[in-house]
Structure 1
């Protein structure tokens, strides 16, 4: 098998890395097309996945549109040279139309319900579209569902073993309480018209949560000078080691909120956008809480941190999620084989 992967976000690297390694271990040829966005290139190089960078994240809606046109042209040329048997991506905006044009099976995932533009550009061309637990929409006959949340492809116990030494090496004592605060750039297509917390709100969060432990900020963009001492010092490839030992994760992004929850860490998601997998983690498993803003999330976080035996309670909730879930990496591997044989 010759598989071409289209990875356009750091989270895509984590989602597909174990599938990539499995295919390579079994003797298949894999080529990764990357994108210069946030820490994606740094992450790929840190974990040893070779890649070809096709584009850099465009600024604004027009910039991202121009980037997509350029990227798709380069992806088409790359696919013609590599001659893949299958195209795999985190979205279908590139692998969908290019796979259809080249008559190559194409598989990608959908993770949130509000990405209507990305969905409209990819789903009509799909061989299969994968979604996980909590996804609310029906995507037609191409739609296949796996049991579990998408972050379990890299955080399920068979794939991730926390290493406190990585946290300690960065100057954080993993045996002492700390809270991870996640701030996002609000630059994705589904974020247009939305804005994150103001600096005064972030300072308030840090001040009030500091009585429960050290506050560590993971941020996609720059931080004010007044918050620099709280910036996360842990290398990008070890961010999940940091999360695994945290007392709580409070943040604007669904990815890190879900990651914390599936690791058994109390998680508060602060964002007005509905995300099905976060709703499932809250409603079905009690592993997360949701708020429409950071100040509202702060109040939820304070109430959670005041509860006795919080981490033990969350570890028990996590077990129910794990028992309800399947090995999503093997699910994807089998789906690739099915697409090739159909």
Structure 2
């Protein structure tokens, strides 16, 4: 079987990375096409995934429509030449359009209820949509529901073992028993530095070592707490921390599935973070006008728990979910047969039915 996979951001590269290798090991021909964004190309090179760039980042004002048209036109040209059986992507309209024009089947993975106008117009063309149990979809295609998170495609224990020696590099002066808090600033970088400093210093007065993961320099005295992490070490850092405070939903889910308690500070809701709080108590969702104060109180409470608490909760999470890469492989490999609408979850050896 010949498969085309498209990736539009670095997260998509990580999502498909192990599935591509597994499909190739099973003698399927996998061709990867990418938007030529620096982070995407860097990830593809780092994981040594052969690929073809399709240009068109669509990041500039007024560019998205033209960029999307160019992107899909180039993908269609390659698809007509390759004659694929399946095209697959994450939340991408291009594969549905192109698959319908070349007689292939489309397999789209989604983990969100939020859909763009283009996505809503495209969904009727999709043959198979794979979504977690918690996500609702209006798709008229075959719907496959699974027990997993997209982040478990690359952070499931079958796929990732963290390098915990990084902790000593991050905190060389730490004493035994010290607690490490890793925070990403996101919009806080544009906030008053004094408010961010107050938040950090309050945690430090509780005995925590606070490090700020940020790519750009910060005002002093925040700068001395900043760490610029290489992309391939971010997940090691999340696993090494005793607590993560973040405004990024993907980071929140990543740290949680690694067993690190996470305070997610954002007004942008994501079903995954709510499920990780309601069912597994690994994420604490904080929002609203008093978010910063609530985040501090929540962080202090979480730091009082012994590490065994979070290990137990992660073990339960892993026992009730499955390796997302297996879901991806089964969905793509089985795409030659149209699934029934709202099909049962894909069987997975790591989560027997």
Return the alpha-carbon distance in structure 2 between the equivalents of residues 97 and 49 of structure 1.
24
Select 1:316's aligned residue among 309, 312, 318.
Answer: 312
Residue segments in structure 2 that go unaligned for 5+ positions in a row: 339-353
Write out aligned runs for 1:265-280 (5 A). Answer: 265-280=260-275
Q: What's the offset of the Cα at 1:209?
A: 3.2
- Does residue 53 of the first structure (1) align with residue 47 of the second (2)? no
Return the alpha-carbon distance in structure 2 between the equivalents of residues 288 and 118 of structure 1.
31
Q: Secondary structure of 2:334's partner?
A: helix
Q: Work out whether residues 6 and 33 of structure 1, in 8 Å CA contact, stay in contact via their aligned partners in 2.
A: yes
Return the alpha-carbon distance in structure 2 between the equivalents of residues 32 and 301 of structure 1.
43
Q: What's the offset of the Cα at 1:133?
A: 4.1
Number of residue-to-residue matches in the alignment: 331
Q: Describe the superposition over 1:10-32 as per-residue Cα deviations: whole angstroms up to 9, x where unpaired.
A: 11111111101111222222221
Q: Describe the superposition over 1:273-315 as per-residue Cα deviations: whole angstroms up to 9, x where unpaired.
A: 2211111111111111112269615533443334423432121
- Does residue 333 of the first structure (1) align with residue 333 of the second (2)? no
Return the alpha-carbon distance in structure 2 between the equivalents of residues 235 and 43 of structure 1.
11
Select 1:243's aligned residue among 209, 226, 238.
Answer: 238
Q: Work out whether residues 179 and 208 of structure 2, in 8 Å CA contact, stay in contact via their aligned partners in 1.
A: yes
Q: Work out whether residues 197 and 294 of structure 1, in 8 Å CA contact, stay in contact via their aligned partners in 2.
A: no
- Does residue 288 of the first structure (1) align with residue 290 of the second (2)? no
Q: Secondary structure of 2:139's partner?
A: coil
Return the alpha-carbon distance in structure 2 between the equivalents of residues 297 and 145 of structure 1.
36
CA 1:293–1:246 in structure 2 vs 1: closer, same or farther (change >3 Å)? farther
- Does residue 86 of the first structure (1) align with residue 86 of the second (2)? yes
Return the alpha-carbon distance in structure 2 between the equivalents of residues 153 and 292 of structure 1.
28
- Does residue 258 of the first structure (1) align with residue 250 of the second (2)? no
Return the alpha-carbon distance in structure 2 between the equivalents of residues 218 and 51 of structure 1.
30
Select 2:203's aligned residue among 209, 216, 233.
Answer: 209
Return the alpha-carbon distance in structure 1 between the equivalents of residues 148 and 323 of structure 2.
8
TM-score, with structure 2 as normaliser? 0.83
- Which has the larger displacement, 139-148 or 150-159? 139-148
Q: Work out whether residues 268 and 297 of structure 1, in 8 Å CA contact, stay in contact via their aligned partners in 2.
A: no
Pairwise CA RMSD of aligned residues? Answer: 2.7
Return the alpha-carbon distance in structure 2 between the equivalents of residues 38 and 232 of structure 1.
21
Q: What's the offset of the Cα at 1:326?
A: 2.2
Return the alpha-carbon distance in structure 2 between the equivalents of residues 90 and 118 of structure 1.
14
Q: Secondary structure of 1:27's partner?
A: coil
Write out aligned runs for 1:194-233 (5 A). Answer: 198-200=191-193, 201-211=195-205, 212-219=207-214, 222-226=216-220, 227-233=222-228
TM-score, with structure 1 as normaliser? 0.86
Write out aligned runs for 1:115-154 (5 A). Answer: 115-117=115-117, 119-154=119-154
CA 1:210–1:333 in structure 2 vs 1: closer, same or farther (change >3 Å)? same
Return the alpha-carbon distance in structure 2 between the equivalents of residues 134 and 259 of structure 1.
18
CA 1:3–1:248 in structure 2 vs 1: closer, same or farther (change >3 Å)? same
Q: Secondary structure of 1:329's partner?
A: helix
Q: Work out whether residues 245 and 262 of structure 2, in 8 Å CA contact, stay in contact via their aligned partners in 1.
A: yes
CA 1:172–1:196 in structure 2 vs 1: closer, same or farther (change >3 Å)? closer
Return the alpha-carbon distance in structure 1 between the equivalents of residues 102 and 74 of structure 2.
14
